[in-house]
Amino acid sequence: MELDRWLSGPRNFRRRPALWLGLLAGLTALLWFWAYAMGTGPARSETLVYIVPGSPFSVIERTLVEAEVLRPDRRFRWLAAFGGYRGQLKAGEYAVAAGASPRQILQLLASGRTVRRQVTIPEGANLYQVARLLGAQQLLAEESFVAFAAAPATPALFAVDSPTLEGWLFPDTYFFTRGQSKEEITAVMVRRARAVLDELLAEMGNDVGLNRREIMTLASIVEKETGRAEERAKIAGVFFNRLEKGMRLQTDPTVIYGLQSFDRRLTRQDLRTPTPYNTYTIHGLPPGPIANPGREAIAAVLNPEDTDYLYFVSRNDGSHHFSTNLREHNRAVNLYQR
- In a domain, residue 334? The reply is no
Domain count, the chain: 2
Residue 24, in any domain of the structure: no
How does residue 250 score in pLDDT terms, banded at 50, 70 and 90? very high
Q: Where is 230: in which H helix or E strand?
A: helix 229-244
For residues 146 and 243, state if they share a domain.
Answer: yes
Same domain, 146 and 268: yes
Which contiguous run of DSSP H or E holds residue 313? strand 311-314
Residue 136, pLDDT > 80, answer yes
Beta carbons of 166 and 200 less than 8 angstroms apart? no
What mean pLDDT comes out for the span 64-69?
Answer: 94
* Same domain membership, residue 187 and residue 110: no
CA distances from 337 to 90, 273, 321, 329, 332 (A): 58, 22, 11, 11, 8
The lowest-confidence range among 37-41, 73-77, 190-194 is 37-41
Q: What is the value of pTM for the model shown?
A: 0.84
CATH number at residue 44: 3.30.1490.480
| pLDDT averaged over every residue in the chain | 90
How many helices and strands, by DSSP H and E, does the chain display?
15, 6
When comparing pLDDT for 260 and 170, which is higher?
A: 170
What DSSP assignment string belongs to 25-61?
HHHHHHHHHHHHHHS--S-SS-EEEEE-TT--HHHHH
User: Do the Cβ atoms of 202 and 145 come closer than 8 Å?
Assistant: no
Under a CB-based contact definition with an 8 Å cutoff, are residues 208 and 302 in contact?
yes
Q: Are residues 143 and 285 in the same domain?
A: yes
Do residues 94 and 167 both lie within one domain? no
Q: Domain check: are 66 and 178 in the same one?
A: no
**Where are the strands (E) in 97-229, listed by range?**
117-120, 173-176
Instruction: Identify the domain boundary among 86, 115, 144.
Output: 115
Q: Burial level of 5, CB count in 10 A (0-12/13-18/19+)?
A: exposed
Q: Which of these ranges, 28-37, 91-100, 222-231, 245-254, has the smallest mean pLDDT? A: 28-37
Contacts of 176 (CB under 8 A, 6+ apart): 116, 117, 119, 134, 137, 139, 185, 188
Of 197, 195, 169, 167, the closest CA to residue 182 belongs to 169
Q: Please indicate, yes or no, if residue 101 is contained in any of the structural domains.
A: yes
| 53 lies in some domain | yes
Last residue of a domain, one of 57, 82, 115: 115
218 and 164 in a single domain? The answer is yes
Residue 228 lies in a domain: yes
User: Is the model's pLDDT at 182 over the cut of 80?
Assistant: yes
In whole angstroms, give the CA distance from residue 87 to residue 227. Answer: 52
pLDDT classification of 82: cutoffs 50, 70, 90: confident
**Cα-flanking dihedrals φ and ψ of residue 93, to 5°?**
-100, 130
> Is 165 within a domain?
yes
Asked if 297 and 153 sit in the same domain, the reply is: yes
| DSSP H/E element including 320 | strand 320-323
Largest CA distance in the chain: 122
154 and 277 fall within a common domain: yes
Question: Which pLDDT belongs to residue 83?
Answer: 85
Least trusted range by pLDDT, from 16-25, 74-83, 104-113, 114-123: 16-25
Q: Which residues contact 237 (CB under 8 A, 6 or more apart)?
A: 304, 305, 306, 307, 309
- Do residues 106 and 138 both lie within one domain? no
Q: Which domain holds residue 43?
A: 37-115
